[in-house]
Amino acid sequence: MATVVRACMPLPPAAVASSSAAPSTDAQAQRSPSSSSARVLVLGGTGRVGGSTATALSKLRPDLNILIAGRNREKGESLASKLGEESEFVQVDIRDRNMLEEVLQDVDLVVHAAGPFQRENECTVLQAAIATKGFHEQAKDCGIPAITTAGIYPGVSNVMAAELVHAARSENAGTGGAGPTILTTSFLLLAEDVIAYNKGEEIKLKPYSGALSIDFGKGVRKKNVYLLNLPEVKSAYKVLGVPTVSARFGTAPFFWNWGMQAFANFLPVEFLRDKNKVIKLVGFVDPFVRAIDGIAGERVSMRVSSLEAYYF
């Protein structure tokens, strides 16, 4: 998740749009009248990360006018109604540059949670925010154009890894549930060589290989984890100076790991690199995952040992 910010200034009261500048799209026509509070647009607000972000913002600042943006009107309006009268839904497709620029006209903060972000060659939302708001030079002067990768993965997970490495001991921590976006990301990672470091030397390994049984402690206990090209590895090596580091990932029940291995070994790499095809695959698999989660429960855990990071 990337967060685009109005650099160098706190959230101001939103200006009331004049009639000559009134937005013309259906999405903007749904917006509420003037509000004295700041307006926050949460792109991907109908998803797990975006919805959780909107909920957290609403609790932190009940006065915020939160716009839940996404393509699923039913889910968006349902969440907006739960957050209260200061929240509303706007239908936005971030692939439509014109729609995106129009909805950005009178907002003060953009939270971009419409992932996954792999295989993306352009920062469309960031570019639209800069073009619409005209803060490019001001942001450059302050040195804070945007806060990027601030989400659960690799944002929060990077922070957790850094904290645990600095603590210089083996620890566990959890990050909450994982939805279709994380599932899509995991499948896309099966097409990538695993980057690891051994005494300062970069090495490449096969994805979803090298199984280890790791004890995640109370609630999760011992689970198998497998090599995956997770971003915390480069962070630990390049930023924290850890010379030998790798990361592994696993899921449960155990047969999901068999499925991940089968995808890695038998699906063509070209298929796994095609985001559109992977998203369709996730659309087929996700209902089964949700059904099993309903029976087995749902938990995410991360363990950082002296030289290894493990995810479950």
pLDDT at 209 exceeding the cut of 90: yes
> What's the confidence (pLDDT) of residue 149?
55
Q: How confident is the model over 60-81, as a mean pLDDT?
A: 90
Same domain for 244 and 289? yes
- What is d(CA 56, CA 53) in angstroms, rounded to the nearest whole number? 5
pLDDT at 139 exceeding the cut of 70: no
> What's the confidence (pLDDT) of residue 111?
87
Same domain for 205 and 281? yes
> What's the confidence (pLDDT) of residue 264?
94
CATH assignment at residue 38: 3.40.50.720
Is 176 inside any structural domain? yes
Same domain for 170 and 302? yes
Question: Residue 197: pLDDT band by 50, 70, 90 thresholds?
Answer: very high
Say how many domains are in the chain: 2
Q: Where a domain ends, among 142, 162, 193?
A: 142
Q: How confident is the model over 305-312, as a mean pLDDT?
A: 59
Q: Comparing 296 with 139, which gets the higher pLDDT?
A: 296
pLDDT at 99 exceeding the cut of 80: yes
Q: How confident is the model over 93-105, as a mean pLDDT?
A: 83
CB atoms within 10 A of CB 239: 13
Q: Which two tokens stand for residue 201?
A: 């030397």
Bridging pattern class, strands 222-227 and 212-215: antiparallel
Range 28-46 burial, b when 16+ CB lie within 10 A, else e: beebeeeeebbbbbbbbbb
> Mind listing the pLDDT tens digit for each residue in 2-21?
333 322 233 333 333 322 33
Same domain for 133 and 165? no
> What's the confidence (pLDDT) of residue 49?
80
Domain hosting 182: range is: 152-311
Same domain for 41 and 190? no
Q: Where a domain ends, among 85, 119, 142?
A: 142
Question: Residue 303: pLDDT band by 50, 70, 90 thresholds?
Answer: confident
Q: How confident is the model over 188-202, as a mean pLDDT?
A: 93
113-122, 169-178, 286-295: the lowest-pLDDT one: 169-178
Q: Where a domain ends, among 142, 160, 192?
A: 142
> Mind listing the pLDDT tens digit for each residue in 22-47?
333 444 444 443 445 788 999 988 88
Q: Comparing 154 with 244, which gets the higher pLDDT?
A: 244
Closest CA to 66 of 128, 11, 22, 6: 11
Contact between 225 and 249 (Cβ < 8 Å): yes
Same domain for 157 and 306? yes
> Mind listing the pLDDT tens digit for each residue in 224-280?
999 999 877 887 888 778 888 888 888 888 899 999 999 999 999 999 999 889 989
pLDDT averaged over every residue in the chain: 75
Question: Residue 195: pLDDT band by 50, 70, 90 thresholds?
Answer: very high
Q: How confident is the model over 62-86, as a mean pLDDT?
A: 90
pTM over 0.95: no
Is 157 inside any structural domain? yes
